[in-house]
Amino acid sequence: MRNDWWRGAVIYQIYPRSFMDSNGDGIGDLPGITSRLGHVAALGADAIWISPFFRSPMKDFGYDVADYRDVDPIFGTLADFDALLAEAHRLGLKIIIDQVLSHTSDQHAWFKESRASRDNPKADWYVWADAKPDGTPPTNWLSVFGGSAWQWDSRRRQYYLHSFLTEQPDLNFHCPAVQDALLGEVRFWCERGVDGFRFDACNHQFHDARLRDNPPAALADIAGVSTVRAENPYAMQRHLYDKSQPENLAFLERLRALLDEHGAVALGEVGDENAPPVMAQYTEAGRRLHMAYSFALLTSEHSATHLRGQVQALEDALDATGGWGCWAVSNHDVPRVATRWSAGRAADAARDRLWLALLLSLRGSASLYQGEELGLPEAEVPFELLQDPYGRAFWPEFKGRDGARTPMPWQTDGVHGGFSTGAPWLPMYGAHLPLAVDRQSADARSMLAYSRALIQWRRGQPPLRTGAMRFHDAPEPVLHFERSEGGAVLHAVFNLSAEPQVLQLPAPLATVGGHPCEGGVAGADGRTIQLAPYGVFFGRPEGH
């Protein structure tokens, strides 16, 4: 593959706890992933992103790392990872692993030493601060998971910062030794042969050294952009000082230099209410991360106007830096797109196909979350079986992230859907069983068959992989843009509604065939496009 294989790549995200269990303990593991790599290869993905599998007390299911260099026993061993990596490479798949550098578990040896006293060698490896004179926290910063971002520690008689759970203390990136240590952890996996990294919460890696309070947020600052629920006070602040600090740019340049030594790539998660300029800075060509993604398309808003606004905002920002984006419409942190963008309507195969076609047509790389290729809806998990601490804290208004994390259905009639011989850590959702891989593999009209065909067709369309992008005006609920690469131009038109639509064009387009998308056809003169409900149309100008 090209050195810039990541540009326009399809990256398949695996949540290891829920992908495939090989030993019957109900928790997915690395050997389980290895046994199912053929599914990902057949899908046509270029790479796999594996969510954290490192040693962890699992307070946040692996995003609280206690040892960056070891596999947690529930997932297997380092030898199991090496076997997974070798098999993926044999199948032509790249491996991207999830690295959580902004914080660790409170069980990490670094934090245990840091909290022991104010004068030990790692005393300043985490963000410690004295209380205000009245004993309250040093700033008004809030945790993403609710409540203050500061936790009192009786040993040091100071507060420590945690942007997420109290068990996830933030590392102090203002300390040079911390940066050096983290680069060492990344180097360990580079030398083991991984092809890239997804850096979790990478804009949380620095805080304001002056510890200034965040100002309140106006509704316009967060409407339609933040994935934080309205019942969470985190959305009530403008997060000017607890994340997205300018000092992070220099660290990302050090990180890029290390990755370039090993030919590894970087995908950064940017959780910011004004993500496009941050993403553009973080992916400045050749200097920092290779690509970044935000939560812009992971909200419930999905009108043509909103989608165009979010995509164009990133396009405008990236134009200034030569950076590169990565789009996702589902992941392990948000409800599945099949439900989230259904607007309360019943399941609709045409709608599921449209969202995938849209994702794979945007400029940037595409992150496809496990189960999207099957059209899985959000699972319903009762409170007594809920595992996610975020959901338990905000139940019942917000039911957490477990509905997107239930086990992958492999066999319609298999025990626990073929995921495990033992009781799964989250229940197998009954509505997922008819959508299992085995049944869809035998159905040429299934969502899985469509996903395979669409990814394969896209692979042969340079404009869709790496081409420039330009929007055309179209009335709601129609989205129309073109992609161009060299002399090749490809128009993409989407009807985002359940009603038929007709689009009038200023210049004629000819229908492009060879793809599995349905519901869009050009009229005899090429100036009118008939769109069925959730119809998709690909066309080329005359002469192209």
Query: Would you name the residues annotated as active-site residues?
Result: 200, 261
Rg of the Cα trace of the chain? 23
Q: What angle do CA 324, 290, 357 make, to 5 degrees?
A: 45
Q: Which H or E element spans position 484?
A: strand 478-485
Alpha-helix residue ranges (DSSP H) falling in 30-74? 30-35, 37-43
Tokens 């409800």 correspond to 335
How far is Cα 333 from Cα 351, in angstroms, rounded to an integer?
A: 22
Cα–Cα nearest to 537, from 367, 369, 347, 353: 353
Q: What angle do CA 219, 223, 226 make, to 5 degrees?
A: 115
b/e 480-512 (16+ beta carbons within 10 angstroms → b): bbbbbbeeebbbbbbbbbbeebebebeeebeeb
How far is Cα 179 from Cα 198, in angstroms, rounded to an integer?
A: 17
Cα–Cα nearest to 241, from 390, 129, 318: 129
Q: Which H or E element spans position 48?
A: strand 47-50
Q: Which residues pair with 98 in a beta bridge?
A: 198
Alpha carbon separation from 104 to 63, 149, 155, 171, 459 (Å, rounded): 8, 15, 19, 7, 38
How far is Cα 429 from Cα 434, in angstroms, rounded to an integer?
A: 10
Contacts of residue 1, defined as CB under 8 A and 6 or more positions apart, other chains included, come to: 46, 92, 94
Tokens of 248: 């992070």
Instruction: Report which DSSP code applies to 49.
Output: E
Determine contact, residues 82/89, Cβ cutoff 8 Å.
no
How far is Cα 75 from Cα 163, in angstroms, rounded to an integer?
A: 26
Cα–Cα nearest to 62, from 540, 438, 401, 413: 401
How far is Cα 11 from Cα 93, in angstroms, rounded to an integer?
A: 10
Cα–Cα nearest to 70, from 52, 88, 86: 52
Tokens of 297: 């398309």
Determine contact, residues 16/64, Cβ cutoff 8 Å.
no
Q: Which residues pair with 485 in a beta bridge?
A: 488
> Helices 304-319 and 275-282: crossing angle, nearest 10°?
30
Alpha carbon separation from 7 to 138, 253, 298, 490 (Å, rounded): 43, 19, 21, 18
